[in-house]
Amino acid sequence: MVTRTVDLRSDTVTKPTEAMRAAMATAEVEDDVLDFDPTAVRLEAEIAKRMGKEAGLFVPSGTMGNLISVLTHCDVRGSEVILGDNCHIFIYENGGISTIGGVHPRTVKNNSDGTMDLDLIEAAIRDPRGEIVYPTTKLICLENTHANSGGKCLTAEYTDQVGELAKKHDLKLHIDGARIFNASVALGVPVDRLVQAADSVSVCLSKGIGAPIGSVIVGSKSFIAKARRLRKTLGGGMRQVGVITAAALVALQENVGKLESDHKKARLLADGLNQMKGLRVDPVETNIVYIEIEEGLHMSAAKIVKNLEERGILVMEISSSRIRVVLHHQISASDVQYALSCFQNAVKGGQTENGN
């Protein structure tokens, strides 16, 4: 039976478009380790310009983007970084900042909107007078949009406040901006204004922007020079990398403009799901939707996920009562309607069993 597949597991599943494939096939390339690949240089300069930073560096993944950023800011033994207890770097990057980079994490509670309380951040900064037993705080990391909180946006005002706090204590500020363009579009704030307070930002091209591979780190020239060296050490120095960065340049052009529509689709889906008895959807700001399965439905997330899969709807099981879906430009409005009808079908069993 031919099933229509609607892949809502992540915005990383986006496949390269015809225009991207054509760009990759004709990309101008050079050895980016021996010299500079011209297409990589173009992409790095473009992203740096858009972010209002001095320079950029293309890396194979967001994980490497964050790893390099943290390790470059924390380049002295005995460093500590303050970050959210529910942030991607802390939860989903294999603890690499510690296991690979020797940096100690100090977590501060993430609120449901993705922020951390400013006083809690400040309280977590280590007092140099205690240095005999303390590591040295070097860096604060924010994440915008905040994935685990449901793609929530950190405002420019909040970001600026954290930036001031960092400056006051002579710390750096890094933004995990994997989905920073989603934040910028949702808030209606130019992306360079949004990240103005940050010393560095890591930006994913392979998520909603739709490129096949990669992220770009942006920061000062001296930061990027160090980052380039660390990238080589980690093994991220690729040769004729222009074949990938060409696709990213197309992605920037084609898909930033489509993010607003991804947010609309997410809201449409969320509204539809919220109307189904037994499901409750957290507020949606961008392209990520978290679905709580209410107790009264007596259905596990696993059961619903499996049921959906049989109809070609792919989603992510987060826990026994929580499911996540992520919208992207290769999900159409008709896909959203189809997904809604499949969800309705899937929960009907639970609704009927309870005589609802």
Partner 1 sequence: MVKRIVDLRSDTVTKPTETMRAAIADAEVGDDVLEHDPTAFHLESEMAKIMGKEAGLFVPSGTMANLISVLVHCESRGSEVILGHNSHIHIYENGGISTIGGVHPRTVKNDDDGTMDIDLIEAAIRDSKEEITFPTTRLICLENTHCNHGGRCLSVEYTDRVGEVAKKHGLKLHIDGARIFNASVALGVPVDRLVQAADSVSVCLSKGLGAPVGSVIVGSDSFITKARRLRKTLGGGMRQVGILCAAALVALQENLPKLESDHKKARLLADGLNKIQGLRVNTSSVETNIIYIEIEEFSGTKAEKLCNDLEEYGILLMQTGLSRLRVVLHHQISESDVQYALSCFQKAVNGVNHENGN
d(CA 207, CA 161): 28
Work out whether 251 is an interface residue with partner 1 (CB under 8 A). no
- Smallest distance from partner 1 to CB 128, Å: 26
Q: CB-wise, 49 or 232, nearer to partner 1?
A: 232
Can you tell me which of 70, 241, 250, 266 binds partner 1, judged by CB under 8 A? 241
d(CA 296, CA 320): 14
Work out whether 240 is an interface residue with partner 1 (CB under 8 A). yes
The residue type of 253 is: Q
Parallel, antiparallel, or unpaired: how do β-strands 6-7 and 313-314 relate?
A: parallel
- Up-side HSE of residue 112: CA atoms within 13 Å toward CB? 4
* Measured CA angle at 271 (ends 154, 256), to 5 deg: 45
Work out whether 318 is an interface residue with partner 1 (CB under 8 A). no
Can you tell me which of 57, 227, 238, 288 binds partner 1, judged by CB under 8 A? 238
How close are the terminal C-alpha atoms of the chain, in Å?
Answer: 31
Can you tell me which of 38, 52, 237, 312 binds partner 1, judged by CB under 8 A? 237
Q: Which of residues 178-217 bind partner 1 (CB under 8 A)?
A: 206, 212-214
Can you tell me which of 21, 42, 258, 264 binds partner 1, judged by CB under 8 A? 21
- Smallest distance from partner 1 to CB 316, Å: 9
CA nearest 342: which of 300, 303, 309, 293?
A: 309
Work out whether 87 is an interface residue with partner 1 (CB under 8 A). no
Work out whether 330 is an interface residue with partner 1 (CB under 8 A). no
Work out whether 94 is an interface residue with partner 1 (CB under 8 A). yes
10 and 2 Cβ atoms separated by less than 8 Å:
no
Considering only the stretches 162-170, 183-191, 237-245, 328-336, report the one whose residues sit in contact with partner 1 under the rule CB under 8 A.
Answer: 237-245
- Smallest distance from partner 1 to CB 3, Å: 17
CA nearest 176: which of 99, 10, 79, 64?
A: 64
Q: CB-wise, 96 or 349, nearer to partner 1?
A: 96
d(CA 74, CA 76): 6
CA 61 to chain centre: 11
262 and 100 Cβ atoms separated by less than 8 Å:
no
Work out whether 5 is an interface residue with partner 1 (CB under 8 A). no
Work out whether 232 is an interface residue with partner 1 (CB under 8 A). yes
Please say whether the dihedral angle defined by the alpha carbons of residues 296, 300, 304 and 305, taken in this order, is positive or negative. Answer: positive
In the complex, which residues of this chain contact partner 1 (CB under 8 A)? 9-10, 12-13, 15-16, 21-22, 24-26, 29-31, 33-34, 59-61, 63-65, 67-68, 93-96, 99-101, 206, 212-214, 229, 232-244, 247
